[in-house]
């Protein structure tokens, strides 16, 4: 069974731009979570989608948004990029509630 895939793997943007990241979960998984990982803050939860509905949200500003499609694929959007948004963005999928999360390879975003 194919794992979680994320595209693109690397991205360079400038301040003020916006970016969209994509995540395809493991086949059959309906829950997709997004995390931001930085050396200083570790893994921080952004949001979680289940059956196209945002079920949980972390403490990030409204510039960070996401959505999930009927095929469980998910996208994350960051608008008005700031230097501090430079990070590894990880997507994780799971079958559902209380289930183990499996991570994708991540998208490394650099904001200049």
Does position 78 interact with other proteins (CB under 8 A)? The reply is: no
CB burial readout 33-70, b (16+ within 10 A) else e: bbbbeeeeeeeeebbbbbeeeeeeeeebeeebbbebee
Closer of 33 and 72 to other proteins (Cβ): 33
Residue 60 is a binding residue for other proteins (CB under 8 A):
no
d(CA 49, CA 57): 9
Q: Which of 42, 53, 59, 70 binds other proteins (CB under 8 A)?
A: 42
Q: Which residues bind other proteins (CB under 8 A)?
A: 33, 35, 42-43, 45, 48, 55-56, 88, 90, 92, 97-98, 100-106
């Amino acid at each position: 069974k194919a794992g979680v895939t994320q595209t693109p793997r690397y991205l360079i943007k400038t301040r003020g731009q916006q970016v969209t990241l994509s995540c395809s979960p493991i086949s059959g998984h309906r829950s997709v979570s997004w995390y931001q990982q930085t050396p200083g803050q570790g893994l921080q939860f952004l949001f979680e989608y289940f059956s196209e509905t945002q079920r949980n949200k972390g403490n990030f500003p409204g510039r960070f948004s996401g959505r999930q499609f009927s095929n469980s694929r998910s996208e994350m959007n960051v608008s008005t990029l700031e230097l501090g948004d430079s990070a590894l963005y990880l997507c994780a999928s799971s079958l559902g509630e209380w289930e183990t999360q499996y991570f994708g390879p991540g998208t490394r975003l650099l904001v200049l």
